[in-house]
Amino acid sequence: MAKMGYVALALVAIFCIVHVQGLSDDVEAAWEQFQAHHPSSTKSHTDAAKRKGNFVKTHEMIQQHNKNKNAAYQLEHNDFSVMDDEEKKRYTGAKAPSGSRFLIADNLDASMRQLPTSLDYRTNACLAPVKNQGSCGSCWAFTAIAPLEFAQCNKTKTSVVLSEQQLVDCDPNDGGCNGGWYTNAWSYLMGGSAKQSAYSYTAVKGTCKFSTSTIGSTVATYGSVASKSPSSMQAALVRYGPLSVAITVINSFYSYKSGVYTDVACDNLGVNHGVVVVGYGNLSGIDYWIVRNSWGAGWGSSGYILIQRGVNKCSIESYPAAIASVV
């Protein structure tokens, strides 16, 4: 009996060694592949061991999640896979202000009675291509500019691309790469928003170079949409176009690939990132918002993510706001 026990223990030990070796081989293969496809994220850094360690943690998270057949969304490796938490934070930057907010309420009730079952502005000629904020906490600026570009184009029927860098350099209400808020930015942009061609993005705060001769649009009126009211957000999307919102970004969000994002870990936490809602729909029975991010077209689904709608997922329905009119 003792011999049988030893044999059983030996077999278990061998199985564990083989299993661990298999996992190790899988990680090594994934790491080699990642380095080949993301050379700027790996080879140019002296802290290679640390970055590989970050990759291994991310890889384990992705593998564990994607094995779940009931998962509504899938994860993948991207440039964030080798970053630590402090590096990732530089790609967010929403800082919610305290105090009351002006509420847009005109005619939204009427719009609610005739809401389309789905809406998607991603292919609308007035929505500029997805941009990339880089490692500057300026998401708030990108969240402010996209709806303004849309509103201006919608009024004049001519597309326009505006400057986030002007906000980073010049807006006294916000903190440049240290964070800010989209309605604060709109308050400043009542003095005019420069065209991007005249004021290009650098991802660092510099000296303000704004000139009124470069204005491409000017905010006239803006306000908040009712908080935690998905139908009000839908009505505002129909009436005004893309909405600025704030969300809570956690680790799984950085690795999003496809599907409807439903991670419960982001709920009931403070918001830290500004994004833009550009539509809504339903996938496999799950209602979603179509959300435009500012991490480039290589992230997520061509720069977009679908986030569960109607449950205030990641606080997305807490701080919606819209530009009502432009000059």
Kindly indicate whether the domain formed by 88-326 is annotated with CATH number 3.90.70.10. yes
Residue 66 annotated among the catalytic residues of the structure: no
Residue 65 annotated among the catalytic residues of the structure: no
> Residue type for 118, please?
S
Tens-place pLDDT, residues 273-287 = 999 999 999 999 999
Q: What is the largest CA-CA distance in the chain?
A: 91
Q: In the prediction, which pLDDT does 103 show?
A: 74
- Candidates 211, 223, 153; CA nearest to 187 is 223
Q: Which residues contact 121 (CB under 8 A, 6 or more apart)?
A: 127, 150, 237, 241, 242, 278, 279, 290
Q: In the prediction, which pLDDT does 105 show?
A: 59
Choosing from 59, 78, 126, 273, which is the catalytic residue?
A: 273
Choosing from 139, 153, 177, 266, which is the catalytic residue?
A: 139
Tens-place pLDDT, residues 38-79 = 887 766 556 888 899 999 999 999 999 999 999 999 999 999
Q: In the prediction, which pLDDT does 155 show?
A: 97
> Could you give the CA distance from residue 63 to residue 75 in angstroms, rounded to a whole number?
8
**With a threshold of 0.85, does the pTM exceed it?**
yes
Q: In the prediction, which pLDDT does 39 show?
A: 81
Q: In the prediction, which pLDDT does 48 show?
A: 82
Residue 178 annotated among the catalytic residues of the structure: no
Task: Tell the burial category of 63 from Cβ atoms under 10 Å away from its Cβ (0-12, 13-18, 19+).
Answer: middle
Point out the residues of the chain with pLDDT beneath 50.
1-5, 7-23
Q: In the prediction, which pLDDT does 10 show?
A: 44
326 strand-pairing partners: 219
Buried b (16+ CB within 10 A) or exposed e, 25-51: eebeebbeebbeebeebbeeeeeeeeb
* Region label for 99, one of left (φ > 0), alpha (ψ between -120 and 50) or beta (otherwise): left
Q: Where are the domains of the chain?
A: 2-71, 88-326
Choosing from 177, 184, 293, 314, which is the catalytic residue?
A: 293
> Could you give the CA distance from residue 327 to residue 325 in angstroms, rounded to a whole number?
7
